[in-house]
Amino acid sequence: AGMSSVGPCGSGGPGDLDMPADVVGGALDGFNFEQPPVRDGARLHREVPAERWCVKRKDLVQFRHLVRRWVAEERMAPTESDEFSASDNRIGPRIYTVTGQLIVPITSRAGQTSWALMLRPEGLLCDLFVTHCWAEGVYEFIDKMLHSWPAKAHNAYCCMFSNPQCLDINGLIQSPRESPFARALHAAPRMIVVPNQTCSIYGRVWCVYEAFLAYSESKVILTASSPLPNLVPNVALVLLSILANFGVALTILIFMLGTAIETVVVAVLMFANFAFLLVAWLIRPSHITLAIECASTVLAGVVLALAAHAFWVSLHAGEQVAYNMYVLFCAIALCVSTLAAEVDRLRLNQGHLEAKQLRKGYTGTVRDATSTVLEDKEKIMEELATSGLEHEVDYAIEVLLVAGASTPTLREVLLRTGMVDQAAYSKASLAVFVWVVWVSRGISRILGRAEVLGDFCASAPDECPGGIAAMMFTDPNVYVALTGSLAALTWLVFFWHIPKDAPLRRSFAMRVLVYVLGVSELFVLIVQFAEFAGSDGAESLWLDRVIALGVSPATLALSAAGPARVVHTPVLGSCLVRIFLA
Tens-place pLDDT, residues 358-384 = 888 888 888 888 888 888 888 888 888
**pLDDT at position 466, please?**
62
The predicted pLDDT at position 5 comes to 38
Query: What one-character DSSP code corresponds to residue 367?
Result: G
* Whole-structure pTM value: 0.81
Gap between the Cα atoms of 69 and 402, Å rounded:
38
Angstrom distance (rounded) from CA 195 to CA 136 = 9
Encode burial over 18-47: b for 16+ CB neighbours within 10 A, e otherwise: eeeeeeeeeebeeeebeebeeeebeebbee
pLDDT of 14 strictly over 50: no
For the cut 60, the answer to whether the pLDDT of residue 577 exceeds it is yes
> For 123-143, what is each residue's pLDDT tens digit?
999 999 999 988 899 999 999
Give the range among 23-37, 107-121, 299-313 with minimum mean pLDDT. Answer: 23-37
CA nearest to 147, candidates 58, 14, 55, 56: 14
Binned at pLDDT 50, 70 and 90, residue 6 comes out as: very low
Nearest to 509 by CA among 557, 572, 546: 557
> Mapping DSSP to helix (H, G, I), strand (E, B) and coil, where does residue 137 land?
strand
Instruction: Name which residue leads in pLDDT, 560 or 475.
Output: 560
Res. 24: pLDDT tops 80: no
Cβ atoms within 10 Å, residue 294: 13
Q: CA 496 to CA 162: how far, in whole Å? A: 34
Q: By the 8 A CB rule, do 222 and 22 touch? A: no
Task: Give the angle subtended at the CA of 71 by the CAs of 68 and 73, to the nearest 5°.
Answer: 110
Is the pLDDT reported for residue 485 higher than 70?
A: yes
- Rounded average pLDDT over 301-313: 91
Among candidate residues 130, 217, 238, 193, the one with its CA nearest the CA of residue 424: 193
